[in-house]
A = this chain, B = another copy of it.
Amino acid sequence: MHTPTRGRPDPLVTGALDRWDGQGLTGEPWPFMALCSISRLHQLLKKALEAELKRFGINRTGYFLLTTLALSTGGSARLSALSRLMMVHQTTVTLTIDQLEAEGLVIRRPHAHDRRTTLVEITERGRECVKRANEALTHAETVPLDRLGGLYQELFAALQPVREAVGDTAL
């Protein structure tokens, strides 16, 4: 009933697909398989990324945040915008900013036109850190990130239709 889309057989994958009807399950197997896969891949990549970033003294949230700031005009953004963009609670962003500020990678300063708003700005040291981290990820030499080199662009492109379908267009 369910035909695998890929040529190379994976015994476990084929197993789950083949067992679906035989084990009396109903509905399509694809929601389960896709949601389980993305959950596993997310966890694997999260762990690998944290390990890779350790030598730069930043964690995953810090890396996303610093790179986002480095890409922003003027190298700064509101805390609320960073929280939204990273889909992370403002408390987590605040904690991460505290850590990055202690390392001299960002500074906080009041918004020029709205003194109640705090801007987070990347420092020169922060920019250096972003460069080293992104170069390290581009040329990763440690398992398993060293296997992903050519796959990142493909992965990004593959996720786009799904992200667009659920209304996520950021990045």
Contacts and interface: CB of A to CB of B under 8 A. Distances in A.
A137 B31 contact: yes
25 contacts: A6-B157, A6-B160, A12-B169, A12-B171, A19-B71, A27-B131, A27-B135, A27-B137, A27-B138, A28-B134, A30-B152, A31-B134, A32-B64, A34-B159, A35-B45, A35-B137, A35-B152, A37-B159, A37-B160, A38-B159, A39-B46, A39-B87, A40-B163, A41-B163, A151-B161
A161 B13 CA distance: 13
Mostly helix, strand, loop or mixed at chain A's interface? Answer: helix
State the number of copies, please. Answer: 2
A171 B144 CA distance: 19
B155 A34 contact: yes
B153 A30 contact: yes
A165 interface: yes
A23 B70 contact: yes
Contact of A138 (B31, B37, B43, B156): B31
A144 B142 CA distance: 36
Contacts of A41: 38, 159, 162-163, 166, 168
A36 to B, nearest CB: 6
Nearest to A61: B39
A130 interface: yes
A108 interface: no
